[in-house]
Amino acid sequence: MSGDLAGAARGQPSAAEPASGQGAAEPASGQGAAEPASGQQGAAEQGSAEQGAPEQGSGRADAVDATTQQSPEELGRAGWELPWAESPATAAGPQERAELEVAFAAAMRRTGSLMQLMGQAAADRIGINSTDLNCLNILSFSGHMTAGELARATGLTTASITGVIDRLEEAGFVRRERDPHDRRRVVVQIALDKAVQEVASVFVPMLRDWREMAARYSDDELRLIVDFYGRVEQVFRKHLIRLRDG
C-alpha cells in the first residue's frame, strides 16, 4: 500500500513508497525427476499416494501460516542464494565490476520476488486477493481514477477491472461516484478511512523499518536512492509496455 495511506494510519506524513517492481521469480534449483517406482513396491506407493492426496491440498491459508513461521534468516536460506545464471567471468570489464553487476542483478531479482510475496501475504491478511490489493495501491496514489484509467495503469481488461472494482466496492474499500464536472463520467474513489484502518495498518510496521533504515543515510545519499528508484520505475514501465504490446 502507498506510503501516503500508511502515513495517515500513523498520523504522520510519509514519503511515497518505491515503485512496486515485480521482478522475475528466482529460478528453481536443479531438481531431477523422481525415479519411478518399480514392481509391487511402485504399485503400493501409488496407492499410498492416492490415499494421501486430500492431505496435500491443505489450502493457501496453511501455506501462508507456514511461511509466516519462518524467521528472516530461514527465508534467507530458502533458496535465495542460488547463483546468477551468468558467471561474472563472462562479463566485460574488471573482475570486481563484473561481480558487482552480478550482485546488483541478483539483488534486484530477490527484491522483486520478495515484494510479490509481501503483497500476497498482505492480501491474505486483509482478506482480498493480490490483484485487488495492487489495484487499490495504484488507486491510493491519486485517491480517485476512472475504471478506464485504472485498467490502463494495471494492464487489465475492462471486464477484469470491472470485477476488481465490484469486489473492492462490496468490501467497502472504494465507491463509485459521478464526476462533479462531468456527470457522464464515473470515478472510482478510495474510501480513505476503511483503507487506512484495514490496509495501511498492515504495512505500517514495515514502513517504520524503512524509516529507520533511511535514517542511516545522509540527505545526498537518500537523493541518490530516490533517483535510483525513479530510474528503476522507468525501466519497469518500459518493459511493461513491451510485454503488453509485443
64-79: pLDDT as tens digits: 444 456 665 665 555 5
* pLDDT tens digits along 149-174: 999 999 999 999 999 999 999 999 99
pLDDT for residue 76: 53
In this prediction, residue 205 has a pLDDT band, given cuts at 50, 70 and 90, of: very high
pLDDT for residue 184: 87
pLDDT for residue 115: 95
CA distance 128 to 173: 11
Of the candidates 204, 192, 60, which has an alpha carbon nearest to the alpha carbon of residue 139? 192
Signed CA dihedral, 135, 211, 26, 233: sign only: positive
β-pairing, 174-179 vs 144-146, is unpaired
- Kindly state the average pLDDT of the residues 40-63: 43
CA distance 65 to 200: 21
